[in-house]
Chains A and B, each alone.
Chain A
Amino acid sequence: MDDTIVLELRDVRTHFPVYAGFVRKRRIGAVKAVDGVSLSLRRGEVLGLVGESGCGKSTLARTILQLVPATSGSVLLGGRDLARCSPRELREARRSLQMVFQDPFASLNPRLTVFDTLAEPLKVHGLCPAAEAPARVAELMRLVGLAPRFMQKYPHEFSGGQRQRIAIARALALEPRIVVADEPVSALDVSIQAQILNLLSQLCRRMNLSLIFIAHDLSVVKHISDRVAVMYLGKIVELGPAAEVIERPRHPYTRALVSAIPVPDPEAERRRQRIVLPGDPPSPINPPAGCPFHPRCPYVQEKCKAAVPPLIPAGPDRVAACVRLDEI
């Protein structure tokens, strides 16, 4: 990993309008799925993105890929704002920015063989003469640990873990610099999950890939990531080195999140201090004023309800968005 920044998000907001009325639709508000996220991704870095369902982590991933348009803010890839790109430029940019989705049953076309699936991006981008495609596809399959003799098989003939390998090979076909993986192991059993995690970290090291790894399982994220960003209700509340953030969380939400995870060790489990948060995360349509976490926060004070707390330094290479950081 070096300090070259390959991707930068500046105050990205993705809001989805909500309409009411049947005959005459009126706009009654917006789901603020992503609400002011600034991030930078370094070359060769694995950035974990964690948060509970509905916190906006998948929308953020889709916004980075320009699969949903950002409402405001910018996504800079190598210094170029993707939102301002023409369709042709965007297609060019996508060569270096690829995605792996959660459910390998839904993200692969059931009517395409592995060969078709992996050769398609090569064809679209004109990267490989047709005659050389089989050799390149075989190489990709070996890269992700699949035997090239399965090239003419269809997705339904593979297990979940193997399908996720195909999806990863498809993302790597264009030799991207950045891969965004949205819960790539959540649908898999533990023994298969370990295989895919090993594969992803090997590939990152070997190809100097930058990876944005989205998951709700903190132990998985801690294992694979260099840095981790914690999201709550569309905002990043804490960001820093993975082991630091998860072992010594500073933001009250991160603390509660970490303490909620059961440990697979009965002795440690007995000693574990639990912070059980009351209630559910609030609706992103009408987020609470001030700090989004204040209605569930055990340390809440009047000032928390007044203004959205900015991300402030919380240690080396660490930030957290809590006004009471030094008091708690």
Chain B
Amino acid sequence: MPLLSVTDLRTYFHTRSGVYRAVDGVSFSLERGETLGIVGESGSGKSVTCYSIMGLVPQPPGRIEGGTALFDGVDLLRCPPAQLRAIRGKRAAMIFQDPMTSLNPYLRVSTQLTEPLRIHERTSSREARRRALAMLEAVGIHDAARRIDQYPHEFSGGMRQRVMIAMALITRPELLIADEPTTALDVTVQAQILELIKAMQREIGMAVIFITHDLAVVSGLCDRVQVMYAGRLVETADTRTLFRDPRHPYTRALQRSIPALQPKGAELFTIPGLPPDLSKPLPGCPFAPRCEFAAEACRREIPPLLECEPGHAHACLRAQRGEI
């Protein structure tokens, strides 16, 4: 049984200007110890997917319209709040993009680090502090004994992200969701944090969902990648296959628009137009209005996510018919 299995998840936001279908029928599963990358541009629904699973979507305006998210057999979308709280922060943890806004500026790092232990494991404060210190050292914070009593503002951006990781991993979770954890960091610090996540994953053996807009980050870190566009999954495959043999026109276009993969100075491929307005009905493939291969059928029917070979699925009608 997979550790996490999400089926037909739909999360809509009901606002004054209409209903935004931020996540619109997303299904995927994650095995124990696996690393899954979710890639997409802003507004593609990659964060909302994970926020929905963790019960972090503000309701209202958000509403989970349908679907299930089975974590080790428990449906996180429908289980009683107490059961969700027992899983979240203990067996499933999350780290966020901006460590300055996700750490509490009024509390010492020690308080924030030991909180999961005190709540979930009812650890004595002495024992909690001992484990917090060990965890801070494990994430590479020097002089942990002194720094543990400092406040978040006394840490640099990279160090704060390490504190967040320590906080998420202190209960040795089975699942870690990382929502663009390195986007706000410099490349040399990003390299440190990615190495750290890999090392901690080896040690604890947890599964990781890594949300990012950066294809390059995914290529070195993830076993499998899924690409999202306009609230839907458009392609999923193991990392090597996705980069070597992308089938969906959106994945191909993304790859062709990254400067790193193109000869220097060459004209970059650009995707014409803009992502669709998610509050308007989309009768067909969400990418069809911008797609160079779009045919009449693409605008009429919603393409299903179908496997083209074991482990590689995509949602492009024309590629499924073998036309492109």
Contacts and interface: CB of A to CB of B under 8 A. Distances in A.
B243 to A, nearest CB: 5
Contacts of A272: 220
B188 A52 contact: yes
A222 B323 CA distance: 36
B31 interface: no
Interface in B257-275: 257-262, 264-265, 267-271, 274
A280 B219 contact: no
Nearest to B214: A262
B46 to A, nearest CB: 12
A194 B264 contact: no
Interface in A220-246: 220, 222-224, 242-243
Contact of B189 (A218, A243, A274, A280): A280
B153 interface: no
Contacts of B265: 201, 223-224
A266 B270 contact: no
B150 to A, nearest CB: 15
Given A52-B186, A272-B220, A276-B192, A264 B260 contact: yes
Interface string B66-97: 00000000000000000000000000000000
Interface string B240-266: 100110000000011101111110110
Contacts of B253: 191
A256 interface: yes
B156 interface: yes
Contact of A219 (B41, B189, B191, B259): B259
B186 A216 contact: yes
B14 interface: no
Contacts of B215: 190, 264
- Top 3 A-B pairs, shortest CB-CB distance: A223-B259, A219-B260, A194-B257
B191 to A, nearest CB: 4
A85 interface: no
B243 A261 contact: no
B188 A264 contact: no
15 contacts: A52-B186, A189-B41, A222-B264, A259-B191, A260-B188, A262-B216, A262-B219, A262-B220, A264-B218, A264-B219, A266-B220, A266-B239, A274-B191, A276-B195, A277-B188
Interface string A111-127: 00000000000000000
B268 to A, nearest CB: 4
A182 B286 CA distance: 34
Nearest to A263: B216
Given A189-B42, A189-B213, A190-B254, A261 B220 contact: no
A190 B262 contact: no
A127 B214 CA distance: 43
B270 A195 contact: yes
Nearest to A218: B187
Contacts of B195: 274, 276
B187 A267 contact: no
A107 interface: no
A257 to B, nearest CB: 6
B138 interface: no
B197 interface: no
Interface in A175-202: 189-191, 193-195, 197-198, 201
B159 A242 contact: no
A191 B254 contact: yes
Interface string A194-216: 11011001000000000000001
A201 B195 CA distance: 35
Contact of B158 (A243, A260, A280): A280
A262 B194 contact: yes
Contacts of A92: none
Contacts of B189: 52, 280
Interface in A247-291: 256-257, 259-267, 269-270, 272, 274, 276-277, 280
Contacts of B320: none
B282 interface: no
Contacts of A274: 191, 195
Given A194-B259, A194-B271, A223-B262, 5 more contacts: A52-B189, A198-B268, A198-B270, A263-B219, A276-B191
Interface string B201-242: 000000000000111111111000000000000000001100
B190 interface: yes
Contacts of B258: 190, 194, 219, 264
A53 interface: yes
A3 B107 CA distance: 58
Contacts of A198: 267-268, 270
A193 to B, nearest CB: 7
Contacts of A72: none
A257 B42 CA distance: 26
Which of B262, B269, B270 gathers most chain A CB within 10 Å?
B270
B257 A266 contact: no
Given A189-B213, A190-B41, A260-B191, A267 B257 contact: no
B165 to A, nearest CB: 16
Interface string A17-54: 00000000000000000000000000000000000110
